[in-house]
Structure 1
Amino acid sequence: MADGAKRLPVKKATQPLVIPRSAAEEQRLKLERLMRNPEKQVLILEKPKDWAPRPPPEFVRDVMGSSAGAGSGEFHVYRHLRRREYMREEFMEKQAGQQRLEDEFQTKLDRNRRVAEVKTEKRRKKRQKLKEKKMLAKKAKKELTKTEEGSAENSSSEEEVENPSEKVDDCEESSFVMGGR
C-alpha cells in the first residue's frame, strides 16, 4: 500500500437483530449472550426486602383542626396522610392474615404428625406380636422335633444317616398366603 492510501477499518461481523417471540426464546438469547464470555462476572441480584410502611409519628406537630383558615394545600396534606395510614392498616391486616395461615398450617402439620405416630405405633406393636408369635412357633417346632428324635432313636436305630433330599427347605415355604381368607 502506498503511504497516501487510507486504511479502512475492518468491521466485526455484526449479529443480526433477533426479536424474541416468547419468554423461552428471550431467556435462550440471554444465556447465549452470557456464554459468549464465560470469564465475565455476572451480577445476581438478591431478593428485595418486603415493603414495610413507615411507623406512625410519635408526636404530631401540625395538627389540622376543623376550624376555618385552612389553606388550599392542607387538603392534599390530609389526603396524603390518610392514604399512608390506609396503606399501613392494609399492610398490618395482610401480615395478620399470613400469620394466621402459617399458624393453621403448623397445627395441621402437628395433627398429621400425631396421627402418623399413632399409626406407626400400632403397626410396630402388631409387628412385635407377630415376631413373638413366630419365635414361639419356632421354639415349639424345635421341641417337637427333639421329642420326635428321642422317640425315633428308641424305636429304630437303623436310620441314623439322614437323606439330604428329605430335608425341608425353609426358603420354599411361603411367608404369606396369597388369595386366602
Structure 2
Amino acid sequence: MLMTNMAVHDPKNNKTAKSGRKGDQPLVIAKTPAEEQRLKLERLMRNPDKPVAIPDRPKKWNPRAPPEFVRDVMGSSAGAGSGEFHVYRHLRRREYQRQNFLDKMSVKQNKEIAYLDKVEQNQREAEERTAKRRKKREKLKQKKLLTKKSKQEQNDDEAEKSASSSEDEKKDDEVEKEAEDDAEVPSFVMGKK
C-alpha cells in the first residue's frame, strides 16, 4: 500500500507530520515583526541556490490617452438611452483625471526648471565671488612683491653706500697714516723714535 501526502505519526517527536516533504519544520508563528523577518530569512537561507524574486518598481501612473475619434457622440436631444448617462459620466471623470494629471505634471516641470535656474544662478554668483576674491589675492601678492623689491633695492643701496663709505673710510685712514708718517713726531712722546 502506497502512502503519499498522508499524516504519519512520528514516534521520536510525538508529532504528526506529512510524509514526502524535505526537511519538515515545525510550525512557528511569529509574534513580532522582527521574528517574522528572521523566519523569512531562515527560510531563504535553507536553499541559497534558489533565486529570489525581487519585485520591480511600480510604473508611474499615466492616464489613458483621449480618444482620437469619438463614435458615439451624445447630444442633449431626446432619444438617449438610460445607460448613456453612465457612459458620459465615466468619460467625463476620465477626462478630468487626465487634465488634473497634466496640470500636476506642468507644475512639477515648472518647479524643476525653476530649481535648475536657481542652481545655475547660484553657480554664477559663486564664480563671480571667487573671481573677485582671486583678483583681490593677486593684488595683494603684487603689492607684497613690490614692497619686497623696494626693500631689497633699499638694502642694496644702503649696502652700496656703506661699502662706498667703508672704502672712503679706508682711504681716509690710509691718508691719515701717511700724513702721520710724514709728520714730525715730537720727541717727548714716549715709545716713538
* Equivalent in 140, 151, 156 of residue 146 of structure 1: 156
How far did 1:17 drift? Answer: 2.0
| TM-score relative to the length of structure 1 | 0.68
Answer yes or no: is 1:71 the counterpart of 2:81.
Answer: yes
Return the letter of the residue paired with 1:101: K
How far did 1:140 drift? Answer: 1.6
Q: Give the equivalent residue in structure 2 for 1:17.
A: 29
How far did 1:28 drift? Answer: 6.3
| TM-score relative to the length of structure 2 | 0.64
Quote the Cα distance in structure 2 between the aligned partners of 1:109 and 1:25: 47
Seen in structure 2, the aligned counterparts of structure 1 residues 42 and 147 have a Cα distance that, compared at 3 Å, is: farther
Structure with max Cα Rg: 2
When structure 1 is superposed on structure 2, of 101-110 and 76-85 the one drifting more is 101-110
Q: Give the equivalent residue in structure 2 for 1:162.
A: none
How far did 1:108 drift? Answer: 1.4
How far did 1:92 drift? Answer: 0.6
Q: Indicate the structure whose relative CO is greater, using CA pairs within 8 Å and at least 6 residues apart.
A: 1
Counterparts of residues 38-117 of structure 1 (less than 5 Å): 38-117=48-127
Q: CA RMSD in A?
A: 3.0
How far did 1:102 drift? Answer: 1.1
Seen in structure 2, the aligned counterparts of structure 1 residues 13 and 35 have a Cα distance that, compared at 3 Å, is: closer
When structure 1 is superposed on structure 2, of 42-51 and 8-17 the one drifting more is 8-17
How far did 1:11 drift? Answer: 6.6
Quote the Cα distance in structure 1 between the aligned partners of 2:93 and 2:57: 27
1:75 partner SS: helix
Percent of paired sites with the same residue? 56
Seen in structure 2, the aligned counterparts of structure 1 residues 51 and 7 have a Cα distance that, compared at 3 Å, is: closer
Quote the Cα distance in structure 1 between the aligned partners of 2:61 and 2:30: 37
Quote the Cα distance in structure 1 between the aligned partners of 2:47 and 2:60: 34
2:67 partner SS: coil
Structure 2 unmatched ranges of 5 or more: 1-7, 11-18, 168-193
